[in-house]
């Protein structure tokens, strides 16, 4: 490629006008390495540098926004396909899911506490709703046999009405269904991420007179474990 003098002169002038490399290359068709060589000694004023910096930042923002939109579109497609995989949930499937959930998150009976009731707590309203549904549908636990409590840091006392409404809306209960509020002493060194307006504490669910039922759930988990261990699935 024959490089003409007017190309270099135009490139230098555009640079002195505060144009970016990308803007120059759109009008002066040369290799970027050649352009860098031409412009290495071209000084820029403060306003020109500011303009170029702004152009770079704007380009980075556009690139970030595009990547974010691609990620959002991909996630939407993944969810759409995932919903097809879970088109219907049987009562038995719900029963097994509930057992596994309690196995992971619920209170277990121990040698020093053989009278442990069914006791489950979580800050994820989806898990709480699943557990409440499991109790009602699979274990036939009545509403009157359930204690609901909120555990939250004491520096959120001023938000407690909002917190109550959040849990009521998430799992379909009435305000009066939440009997107790327990305030935890605030730890300023906490590593929790959700400590702002998106923090709603933990909802604890305790079933009355459920010591025997807790043992039954433990038996179900042990049976699942043995089937997996034996490869019977």
Neighbours of 38 (CB within 10 A): 19
pLDDT of residue 127: 96
Give DSSP secondary structure letters for 134-167: HHHHTS---GGGEEEEEEEEGGGGGGHHHHHHHH
- The span from the CA of 135 to the CA of 95, in Å, is 9
Structure tokens at 149: 């409590």
pLDDT recorded at residue 12:
83
Specify the residue for token string 């380009």.
59
Q: Per-residue pLDDT tens for 153-166? A: 999 999 999 999 99
Specify the pTM: 0.70
Q: Which residues of the chain have pLDDT under 50?
A: none
Among 158, 228, 173, which residue's Cα sits nearest to residue 203? 173
Q: Please report which helix (H) or strand (E) contains residue 29, including its range.
A: none
Which residues are bridge partners to 110 per DSSP? 113
For position 76, what pLDDT does the model report?
Answer: 94
- 3-state SS, residue 142: coil
CB 195 within 8 A of CB 152: no
Q: List beta partners, residue 204.
A: 121, 149
Report pLDDT for 41. Answer: 73
- pLDDT tens figures, 70-105: 999 999 999 999 999 998 899 999 999 999 999 999
So where are the chain's domains?
Answer: 91-230
Please provide the distance, in angstroms rounded to a whole number, between the alpha carbons at the two ends of the chain. 69
- State the pLDDT at residue 150: 96
| Bridge partner list, 184 | 153
Task: Report the 3 state secondary structure along 86-141.
Answer: CCCCCHHHHHHHHHHHHHHHECCCECCECCCCCEEEECCHHHHHHHHHHHHHCCCC
Where helices occur in 31-108 by DSSP H, the ranges are 32-39, 46-85, 91-105
- Give Cα separations from 2 to 8, 29, 55, 219 (angstroms): 12, 11, 31, 84
């Amino acid at each position: 490629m024959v490089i003409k003098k007017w190309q270099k002169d135009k490139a230098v002038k555009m640079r002195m006008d505060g144009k970016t490399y990308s803007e120059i290359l759109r009008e002066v068709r040369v290799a970027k390495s050649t352009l860098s060589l031409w412009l290495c000694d071209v000084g820029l004023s403060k306003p020109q540098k500011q303009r170029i910096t702004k152009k770079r930042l704007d380009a980075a923002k556009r690139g970030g926004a595009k990547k974010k939109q691609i990620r959002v579109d991909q996630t939407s497609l993944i969810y759409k396909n995932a919903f097809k995989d879970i088109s219907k949930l049987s009562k038995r499937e719900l029963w097994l899911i509930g057992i596994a959930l309690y196995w992971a998150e619920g209170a277990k009976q121990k040698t020093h506490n053989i009278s442990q009731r069914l006791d489950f707590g979580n800050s994820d309203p989806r898990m709480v709703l699943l557990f409440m549904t499991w109790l009602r549908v699979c274990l036939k636990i009545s509403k009157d046999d359930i204690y609901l409590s909120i555990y939250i840091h004491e520096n959120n006392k001023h938000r407690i009405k909002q917190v109550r409404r959040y849990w009521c809306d998430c799992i379909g209960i009435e305000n009066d269904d939440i009997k107790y509020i327990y305030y935890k002493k605030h730890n300023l060194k906490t590593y929790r991420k959700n400590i702002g307006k998106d923090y709603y504490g933990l909802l604890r669910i305790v079933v009355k007179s459920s010591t025997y039922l807790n043992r039954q759930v433990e038996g179900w988990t042990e049976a699942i474990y043995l089937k997996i261990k034996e490869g019977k699935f």
